[in-house]
Amino acid sequence: MNQFNASRQPMQAQRPATAPGSTEARKLAEDLMDAMNALLGLIERETELVRAGKVREAMTFESKKQELSRNYVAAVSQLKANQPQLAKSAPELLSTLHRHHDAFRAMLQVNLTVLATAHAVSESVVRGVNAEIQKRNVPNTYTAAGRRAAPGPRHITPLAVSRSL
């Protein structure tokens, strides 16, 4: 479903903030497309790894993902700063960019959904393990009214979790 060429790398050079002509408009659009393509390629790979349960491997993309995100934000900022001029000089280019950006956002939403699901599942597992540990450590006693006694703080065992996977 990737509509972008993920092998293109984003340009990191700063562009002047002057009113873009036709060539400058194309350059701004190419820079944004390059940034979206590079980020999308990485995000798709991360999504595949998380779906396959290879979270540790997916975490290795964190620094590259941050770098590509900064490039994307810089390209979007540059494009927004020149949007009025682009709308006049290259409206068809701007509408093409909007369509590509909509597809890009859809893929980002898929990635965020997969990450949120993985987070919810792992949190549920940790809470379940903690509940089982606490059940085993709490004495089975009742109050004078026949209700189950609530455990005191000395019966609660802390659960330590290593975040390094």
pLDDT digits (tens, 9 = 90+) for 34-64: 999 999 999 999 999 999 989 889 999 999 9
Average pLDDT over residues 102-109: 93
Phi, psi of 108 (to 5 degrees): -65, -40
Closest-CA residue to 104 (of 37, 30, 56, 45): 37
Q: Enumerate the β-bridge partners of residue 142.
A: 148
| Residue extents of the structural domains in the chain | 21-137
SS3 category, 142:
strand
Task: Please state which of the ranges 72-86, 93-107, 137-151 shows the lowest mean pLDDT.
Answer: 137-151
Which pLDDT does position 20 carry in this prediction?
53
Torsion sign across C-alpha atoms 126, 163, 70, 31 = negative
The rounded distance, in Å, linking the Cα atoms of 42 and 38 is 6
Which pLDDT does position 75 carry in this prediction?
92
Number of other CB atoms surrounding residue 121 within 10 Å? 11
The rounded distance, in Å, linking the Cα atoms of 162 and 11 is 38
Task: Please state which of the ranges 11-20, 31-40, 104-113 shows the lowest mean pLDDT.
Answer: 11-20
pTM: 0.66
